[in-house]
């Protein structure tokens, strides 16, 4: 039986959901390595909807996170409430501001943020079973609230976000776009992706390294 990885999405689109390139590159690398995957997303309304041409809020428009995430998963997706760590060998969270708006309220609350209860419960199962957890882009900012204090992560080198991680009890490590940070003790792998990337190839290098390291950790 092949390894199986859960991929947790937060919508569709960099400004109000999962970052599309990060998600696609993650799924591509998993497939290249012969690793099976299943996508999950919370069945909730988005914080808001952004017009990705103008960058402005689309006033009066609402969208569902699970329904929007299904666009990225080509319809093959399950509600986050159905994710059981026992069914998978690892979990990966692509970035995009859905992580800071739908999976948490970091975009509004900063270091005082709260994370979605369904997400915290799902990741607790992986963490307690010492199954690898990968996060990219802005998603690592949630680690102190999701997994506890003292876990080393990276979002690149943004001083505001890295400062918030430290304020919440996390350990931030400065990192280049094409590199990863691995907390071997806690089996958490992070990479900056589009927190720093200016080209899809830059994002791909770091994301592929993250998936490769997750693959290695699943063997340990």
Marked catalytic residue, from 12, 39, 137, 175: 137
Pairing of the two strands 188-191 and 181-183: antiparallel
**What values do phi and psi take at 183, rounded to 5?**
-95, 95
- Torsion angles phi and psi, residue 93, rounded to 5: -115, 105
Q: Is 12 assigned a catalytic role?
A: no
- Give dist(CA 57, CA 48) in Å, integer: 7
Are the CB atoms for 130 and 217 separated by under 8 Å?
Answer: no
- Scanning 3-130, the segments in alpha helix (DSSP H) are 20-32, 65-72, 98-101, 106-109, 117-128
Q: Which residues are catalytic?
A: 137
């Amino acid at each position: 039986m092949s390894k199986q990885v859960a991929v947790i999405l937060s919508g569709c689109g960099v400004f109000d959901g999962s970052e599309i390139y990060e998600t696609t590159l993650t799924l591509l690398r998993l497939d290249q390595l012969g690793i099976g995957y299943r996508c999950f997303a919370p069945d909730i309304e988005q914080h808001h909807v952004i017009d990705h041409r103008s960058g402005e809020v689309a006033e009066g428009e609402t969208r569902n996170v699970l329904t929007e995430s299904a666009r990225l998963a080509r319809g093959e997706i399950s509600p986050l409430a159905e994710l059981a760590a026992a069914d998978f060998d690892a979990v990966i969270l692509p970035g995009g501001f859905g992580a800071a708006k739908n999976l948490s309220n970091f975009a509004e609350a900063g270091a005082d943020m709260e994370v979605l209860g369904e997400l915290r419960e799902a990741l607790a199962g992986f963490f307690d079973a010492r199954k690898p957890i990968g996060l990219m882009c802005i998603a690592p900012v949630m680690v102190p609230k999701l997994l506890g204090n003292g876990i080393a992560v990276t979002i690149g080198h943004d001083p505001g976000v890295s400062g918030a991680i430290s304020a919440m009890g996390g350990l931030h490590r400065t990192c280049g776009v094409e590199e990863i940070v691995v907390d071997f003790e806690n089996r958490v792998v992070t990479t900056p992706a589009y927190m720093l990337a200016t080209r899809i190839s830059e994002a791909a290098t770091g994301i592929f390294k993250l998936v490769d390291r997750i693959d290695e950790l699943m063997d340990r």
